[in-house]
Amino acid sequence: MTEGRIETRVIEFAIPILLSNLLQQLYNTLDTVVVGRFVGSTALAAVGSTTALVNLVIGFYIGLSTGAGVVIAQYYGAKNEEQLHKSIHTGMAISLASAAIIAVIGVVGAPYFLIWMGTPEAVMNQAVLYLRILFGGVIFMTLYNMGSGILRAVGDSTRPLIYLAVCAVLNVVLNLVFVVGLHMGVTGVAVATIIAQSISSVLVLYNLIHTTDIYKLHLSKIRFHKDVFLKIVNIGIPAGIQSMVISFSNVVVQSNVNRFGAVTMAGFAASGKIDSFIYMVENALGLTATTFVGQNIGAKQYERVRVGVKHIIGLAVGAVVIFGGIVAIFAPQLIRLVNNEPEVVAVGTVQLRILALTYWLLAVPEVLSGSIRGSGISVAPMIISMANMCLLRLVWLAVVMPIFNDFRVVSVCYTVSWFVTAACYLIYVKKSNWMHRFDEEQTSRPAAE
């Protein structure tokens, strides 16, 4: 990522990430399709109502893995092999430890969290069962994501795509066997997901263990290295808090959706699976920005960083405008792929069109937050995103919902928060000296030692 034409490098790196994200979302959507069409709207509501909660609990781990990826990309760009090895093995140690904590919290706390969210009694039992199975196998997801993060940090976004493709095909086959063939309901969907994720985690670990490159993983060397751990934590904890708090706001949003009953819940669940495909475009380019900025800042190529970030934002906005427009036009047909009950389709279509036509607003903060983290700064993105994607959403729902009492208030909540967040990120990038954090750390390090 530190050499060659910027546009070419960015596109070559982003396309496998985008395909990986789309593929992962596709097989997650197939879970919803199978449940919605072969089990029913109640089961669909149960599965959909757990999404925000899963993201909340896992969010902190995702932040830590983001911190590890930034550190690895910077040391890889700086060609510091010793610190690179420490970063990789510390990242894996964090992955294992966090998986154990997340599993316990998720399995034990599932019913209490769902009660707190106001989940209707009609869907409670199925939602608890689905949630507990997913958290019981969370270690496979964390290992795959950390391993894939390591590969992306050193510039390889193709192998994670290949491993995910294997996972996706297996997941589809197991869904058909467990749900359609054996009539296992939401249990079958959850078990199929865990088995497929376990295979993908084995594949990515096998690659890291057997590679001859400088990012080789040695199982016996997995441990916490204090200096690298502290750096990962300094970047990862704010990112994790940000992810958790935003996910918390989505839990509150889901609670407001739950007030309107199982049909509205099912419509939002169906819409969420479709609109997530649009978000995957932005997420892929945000991850690309993190690796691009991390490696080039490690190599002290600041002008390349400045130009590259502008190109990535342009790509993200343009792609989402086109993709979002297509989704808005065919919204009813897309919702029917998940559930064809007329009431569910009506709710899902309204929700999907509002989001699809305004998702381009999120492209700017997605790329800029990834870029800023790539420089080693994590607190500023945390503050900006928490203030707007959490606090602003909560205020909006508290003030506007009692006035209109309409589920569309929830949909517009996202659009408003994206617009304000984009404006704040643009101001921060213009006014701060964010690109030189890594350079300052390296300059001050000998004195500290």
Which pLDDT does position 318 carry in this prediction? 93
pLDDT in tens, 146-183: 898 899 888 888 898 898 888 888 888 898 888 888 88
Residue 443 amino acid letter: T
pLDDT higher than threshold 50 for residue 433: yes
Which pLDDT does position 439 carry in this prediction? 59
Q: Which of 133-137, 254-258, 346-350, 360-364 has the lowest mean pLDDT?
A: 254-258
Question: Where are the domains positioned within the chain?
Answer: 6-438
pLDDT in tens, 264-281: 888 888 888 788 788 888
Label residue 185 left, alpha or beta by phi (over 0 means left) and psi (-120 to 50 means alpha). left
Residue 255 amino acid letter: S
Three-state SS letters, 291-319: HHHHHHHHCCCHHHHHHHHHHHHHHHHHH
From the CB of residue 129, how many other CB atoms can be counted at a distance below 10 Å? 16
Task: Give the position of tokens 């609109």.
Answer: 275
Which pLDDT does position 447 carry in this prediction? 39
Dig out the tokens for 224 from the structure.
């916490």
From the CB of residue 443, how many other CB atoms can be counted at a distance below 10 Å? 10
Which pLDDT does position 259 carry in this prediction? 81
* Mean pLDDT along residues 229-244: 81
Which pLDDT does position 448 carry in this prediction? 37
| DSSP for 58-115, written as a single string | HHHHHHHHHHHHHHHHHHHHTT-HHHHHHHHHHHHHHHHHHHHHHHHHHHHHHHHHHH
As a whole number of angstroms, the distance between CA 78 and CA 80 comes to 5
Stated pTM of the model = 0.74
Dig out the tokens for 18 from the structure.
């985008």
CA distances from 24 to 16, 31, 288, 326 (A): 12, 11, 17, 20
Which pLDDT does position 3 carry in this prediction? 84
Beta carbons of 284 and 14 less than 8 angstroms apart:
yes
Quote the crossing angle between the two packed helices 138-153 and 185-210, to the nearest 10°.
40
Q: How close are the terminal C-alpha atoms of the chain, in Å?
A: 31
Dig out the tokens for 127 from the structure.
């939602």
